[in-house]
Structures are given as C-alpha cells and as structure tokens.
A = this chain, B = another copy of it.
C-alpha cells in the first residue's frame, strides 16, 4: 500500500528572475517563444553550480507556486474543445506535486547568477534543482 501520510520538505535553492509576470500571457513551453531569464542561486549551493558553463543544456526543476494541487484533470492547453484529461498525461502546472520541468540553455554565468534561454517560468518562481541533459551513454 502507498503510505501517503509521508511528506518530504523541499527548500528552494534559487529563484527565477524573468520579464514574465503573468501566467495568462506566458508561453506554455520554453520552446514556444519564452524569453531569456536569470536563475539567481543562494550562496549555500555555490559549489553545486560551480561547473555550469555557457552553452550547457540543462533541465531546471521549479516549484510552480501559483498552481493548484487539487486539480486532477484538465482540458489540454486550456482548450475546452479537447476532452478533459488526467494531469499525468498533460503538462498542466496544476497537479498534486506541482514541480515544473524546463529545458534551457546557459547563456551566461556570473557568480551565483546564471542566464538561460527558453524559460517559460514566471518571475519569482522557486528553483529546486538543476540537472544536465543526458547525452549518449558513452559520454556520461
């Protein structure tokens, strides 16, 4: 059985600084016209980001702090002509654990600040984690 009484605590490691402030006008995915943005990290994780370099392809995990956690089905892309679909089959921000997943490319690194292309997350969104995009098996 699944023990859902358990809980895990996330602490943000940084924050998104972006010209995007309004969910209604933001692109739905990073490759749909999202602007450049900065990831501003906390000093406590300085060593974790020390090897990020310009050109790196990254996956940024965020906490979608404006999402609803009680929504289990949505019309994909807010299009009511499409049938309601369980959120695990959609990229809706609304989901039980609203973790955002964003593929970006590093444009600049300036100490605790990393500029990235193609990030659709809103200004102020907490950053949880950063991972490299995996290359071919023999290059890992």
Binding site for B on A (CB under 8 A): 2-4, 6-15, 28-29, 31-32, 40-42, 44-45, 47-52, 56, 58-59, 61, 63, 65, 72-73, 76-77, 85-91, 95-97, 99, 101, 126, 128-132, 134, 137, 140
Chain B residues whose C-beta falls within 8 Å of the C-beta of A3 in the assembled complex: 12, 15
Provide a sorted-by-A list of 10 A–B residue pairs whose CB atoms are within 8 angstroms: A2-B15, A4-B11, A11-B96, A28-B140, A49-B86, A49-B89, A51-B86, A52-B86, A52-B89, A97-B128
Known: A32-B137, A101-B59, A134-B29. A88 touches B10 (CB 8 A): no
B50–A73 touching, CB < 8 Å: yes
